[in-house]
Amino acid sequence: MTDPRSFLIRMISVLGIFFIICGFLYEQIYASFMGNPILNGTIIATALIGIIYIFRQVLLLVPEVKWLSDVQRTRTLSKKNAKPVLLATVNVMLADQTNERQLSAQSLRSVLDGVAARLDEGREISRYMIGLLIFLGLLGTFWGLLQTIGAVGNVVDGLSSNNANLDRMMEQLRSGLDAPLSGMATAFSSSLFGLTGSLVLGFLDLQLGQAMGRFFNEVEDWLSSFARYNDVSGKENHPHNSSSLMSEGLNEEGARALLELARAIERSEKSREATEVQLDKLNIHLGLLSEQITDDKRIRDQLILLNSRLETLGSQIMNVSREQQDALGTDLRSLTTSLDRLISNNIKSEK
């Protein structure tokens, strides 16, 4: 941000040069001032009041620039600092834009119009003071001319055409011309002081206008950096954007409500897509689980079949073992019978 005090340097420099010139022309200025001290004193007092006021208006920009510089640097509103006067609408806007620091085109124009109105209001008095100085100068001019005309008329009426003494008549004429000359001094001195004062105040008001213009342009550039001219998503497939909403005659609140609705729909769409993705993943897990359950069921069926086959095989083995035992028992019995017979025959043969 440009420091407004740089414009004060120009103003003080010009005033210094002006007062130096007045110092060199002091005697002539004093003689002109004494032409009508009351009116000329009023003009000089008015010019001094205007100079002080213009300097005050430039100094009022300093806290505004400091506040804006702090906001730009910290990007937050500090409650410790005093609230600005010229940037009151900007302060309200920043306090309102807590969730989303964006401005629509209409809001930006409203904020800038508020700042411009306050700046112009500060220059109205200085412009009036310039016009007042010109008016006082013209007032003194006409006043002096009226005095001159009246005094000339009195001088003409006072001259006696029957007076034969020419020297006395010339003396009377010289004494009578003092009043018209005094009126002319009033006219020219008031015009001189009035026009000079308006010239000085005009230059100072020009510097004030440049300071305010530079300040306003920098505020406008900063606010334009986060102004919103499109819709919230910036996509072309949205049916309405903020500029179209404004062109269709919707007010700021209605446009903002529609934009909030668009944001809610967009968030709902994203949530639905995320839910669909989660459902797809859940279906995949359920499919895998179903396959595992199917595999487990198949394993149980195989185990049941294997168990039945093992039972059948066990029963078959038991039957075969039983048959073998029966056959072995039969063979043993046959062998025993054969042995008994053999033993019996041996015994008989020995006898």
Average pLDDT over residues 275-280: 82
Full-model pTM: 0.58
The reported pLDDT for the residue numbered 53 is 92
The reported pLDDT for the residue numbered 62 is 86
**Percent of the chain surpassing pLDDT 70:** 73
- Rounded Cα gap, residues 55 and 214, in angstroms: 16
The reported pLDDT for the residue numbered 48 is 93
Tell me the pLDDT of the chain averaged across its residues.
75
The reported pLDDT for the residue numbered 17 is 92
> Is residue 154 very low, low, confident or very high in pLDDT (cuts 50, 70, 90)?
low
**Percent of the chain surpassing pLDDT 90:** 7
What are the residue boundaries of the structural domains of the chain, listed by start?
5-230
pLDDT at 249 exceeding the cut of 50: no
pLDDT at 237 exceeding the cut of 60: no
User: CA dist 230 to 98, 218, 226, Å?
Assistant: 20, 23, 12
pLDDT at 202 exceeding the cut of 70: yes
48-52, 210-214, 239-243, 341-345, range with the lowest pLDDT? 239-243
| pLDDT: which is higher, 185 or 48 | 48
Burial class (CB in 10 A: 0-12, 13-18, 19+), 95: exposed
pLDDT at 113 exceeding the cut of 60: yes
Average pLDDT over residues 136-159: 72
pLDDT at 279 exceeding the cut of 50: yes
Q: Apex CA 209: angle with CA 203 and CA 213, to 5°?
A: 150
Which DSSP category does 231 fall into? -
Phi, psi for 104 (deg, rounded to 5): -80, 170
Q: Apex CA 306: angle with CA 305 and CA 308, to 5°?
A: 65
Average pLDDT over residues 82-109: 67
Confirm if 133 and 46 have CB atoms less than 8 A apart: yes
| pLDDT: which is higher, 14 or 98 | 14
The secondary structure of 316-341, three-state, reads HHHHHHHHHHHHHHHHHHHHHHHHHH
pLDDT at 78 exceeding the cut of 70: no
> Is residue 239 very low, low, confident or very high in pLDDT (cuts 50, 70, 90)?
very low
pLDDT at 256 exceeding the cut of 70: no
Name the E strands within the chain: 103-104, 227-228
Burial class (CB in 10 A: 0-12, 13-18, 19+), 67: buried
